[in-house]
């Protein structure tokens, strides 16, 4: 087969033109843009406070975490936000298969000696020339784009059929979740699986098949708990948080103490006590406890209301989106944000077991913030199409 270099060059020029000049005359949803901007800036502000003690202890720099968040998360994230907010989101459909390949390759690289890196019991990072990347955070978006592209290209009757709908869906989802569980990262696996189930159902998946999958999933989680004692301990301490407050119950008890200490109005910005080596993971999984402690019940509630406002705005745009791909992609992205936020905040206030997932846009993690901003850019781009139609 002859390689058409001229045609490839023309396609590349058209793609670059889309990115640089925009693909339509529609205006983005500036209300949604402002909400994401407030959320991101609030995250940097609380991180600058939460990371002071641990930054001084580990790196002799109280602002080490927020500096790294800006350099490795915010700046590349803003670049991706601009690109995805200007590039016609429908063009992502043609990249679905490459995105699936990228997802599998990235997840496989964490097991490669010299590239994969671990933290604690998990091996979830890869290192390139001193730069650390968490593949599972990238896969949350790349796999979602592939899945939405596949679902939107099939008729409802095909999705409801076991052989043409459910079986291919569960096969590709199984590959991704298996690779993530081998790290192991049960929290991220739960987010990707739950998000996938949401878009599968909204696209027209069968209730019966989802029921089967729910039963199988519950059995799988039970098996994972039986295989790893620390997961059983997390479940036990969730049911009885008063047990071993200086042992396995230390994390949740300190988190609840931080939340309760904030009362209605908080101790004041920068005045958290728990961040001084009392509460584990203050810049990551436990950062909502610092929000509650420093700002109190009212601001913590306002933060949750901000998340709800984003959800409602995105769902409104999805409802008026002119095509199935855009609707499912909007619902998938916002479901990811909802599920992950619920698991993080719910763990801190003891309504779900501790899962070790970051709070989107808020917790420390360059890859997480970068991919959240990229996903936000896609949502803003979809809002342009909504206005135009």
Q: Please enumerate in sequence order all residues whose Cβ is within 8 A of that of 254, keeping only pairs 6 or more positions apart, or say none.
A: 274, 278, 279, 280, 289
Give 389's pLDDT tier (boundaries 50, 70, 90). very low
Give 385's pLDDT tier (boundaries 50, 70, 90). confident
pLDDT at position 259 is 94
pLDDT at position 231 is 65
Flag whether pLDDT at 233 surpasses 80: no
> Would you mind telling me the total number of residues written for the chain in this entry?
389
Nearest Cα to Cα of residue 318 among 194, 148, 83, 143 = 148
Q: Mean pLDDT throughout 114-142?
A: 78
Which residue has better confidence, 355 or 73?
73
For the segment 167-221, what is each residue's pLDDT rounded down to a tens digit?
Answer: 999 999 999 998 988 887 888 988 999 999 999 999 988 888 888 887 877 777 7
For the segment 241-285, what is each residue's pLDDT rounded down to a tens digit?
Answer: 666 666 677 888 899 999 999 999 999 999 999 999 789 999 999
Q: How many CB atoms lie within 10 A of CB 209?
A: 20
3 state DSSP class of 273 = coil
Flag whether pLDDT at 131 surpasses 80: no
3 state DSSP class of 30 = helix
pLDDT at position 1 is 42
Flag whether pLDDT at 372 surpasses 90: yes
Which residue has better confidence, 114 or 239?
114
Spatial separation of the C-alpha atoms in residues 92 and 152, rounded to whole Å: 13
**Cβ–Cβ under 8 Å, residues 205 and 147:** no
For the segment 298-343, what is each residue's pLDDT rounded down to a tens digit?
Answer: 999 999 999 999 999 999 999 999 899 999 999 999 999 999 999 9
Spatial separation of the C-alpha atoms in residues 280 and 356, rounded to whole Å: 11
**Cβ–Cβ under 8 Å, residues 361 and 384:** no
Domain residues of the chain, as ranges?
27-78+228-389, 92-227
Which regions of the chain does DSSP assign to beta strands (E)? 116-119, 122-128, 131-133
């Amino acid at each position: 087969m002859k390689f058409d270099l001229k045609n490839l060059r023309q396609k590349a020029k058209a793609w670059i033109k889309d990115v640089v000049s925009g693909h339509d005359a529609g205006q983005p949803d500036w209300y949604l843009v402002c909400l994401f901007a407030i959320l991101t800036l609030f995250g940097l502000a609380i991180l600058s406070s939460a990371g002071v003690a641990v930054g001084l202890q580990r790196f002799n720099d109280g602002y080490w975490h927020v500096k790294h968040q800006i350099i490795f998360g915010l700046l590349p994230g803003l670049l991706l936000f601009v690109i995805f907010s200007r590039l016609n989101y429908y063009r992502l459909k043609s990249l679905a298969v490459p995105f699936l390949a990228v997802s599998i390759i990235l997840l496989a690289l964490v097991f490669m000696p010299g590239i994969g890196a671990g933290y604690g019991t998990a091996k979830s990072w890869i290192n390139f020339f001193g730069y650390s990347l968490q593949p599972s955070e990238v896969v949350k978006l790349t796999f979602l784009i592939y899945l939405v592209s596949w679902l939107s290209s099939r008729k409802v009757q095909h999705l409801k059929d076991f052989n043409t709908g459910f079986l291919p869906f569960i096969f590709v989802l199984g590959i991704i979740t298996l690779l993530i569980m081998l790290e192991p990262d049960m929290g991220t696996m739960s987010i990707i699986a739950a998000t996938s189930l949401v878009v599968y159902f909204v696209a027209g998946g069968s209730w019966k098949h989802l029921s089967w999958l729910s039963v199988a999933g519950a059995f799988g989680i039970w098996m994972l708990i039986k295989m790893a004692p620390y997961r059983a301990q997390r479940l036990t301490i969730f049911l009885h948080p008063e047990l071993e407050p200086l042992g396995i119950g230390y994390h949740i008890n300190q988190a609840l103490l931080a939340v309760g200490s904030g009362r209605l109005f908080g101790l004041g910005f920068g005045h958290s006590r728990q961040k001084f080596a009392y509460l584990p993971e203050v810049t990551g999984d436990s950062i909502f406890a610092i929000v509650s402690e420093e700002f109190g019940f009212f601001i913590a509630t306002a933060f949750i209301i901000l998340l709800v406002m984003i959800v409602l705005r995105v769902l409104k745009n999805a409802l008026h989106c002119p095509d199935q791909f855009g609707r499912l992609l909007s619902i998938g992205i916002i479901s990811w944000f909802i599920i992950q936020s619920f698991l993080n905040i719910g763990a801190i206030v003891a309504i779900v077991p501790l899962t070790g997932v970051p709070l989107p846009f808020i917790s420390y993690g360059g890859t997480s913030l970068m991919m959240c901003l990229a996903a936000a850019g896609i949502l803003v781009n979809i809002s342009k199409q909504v206005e135009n139609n």
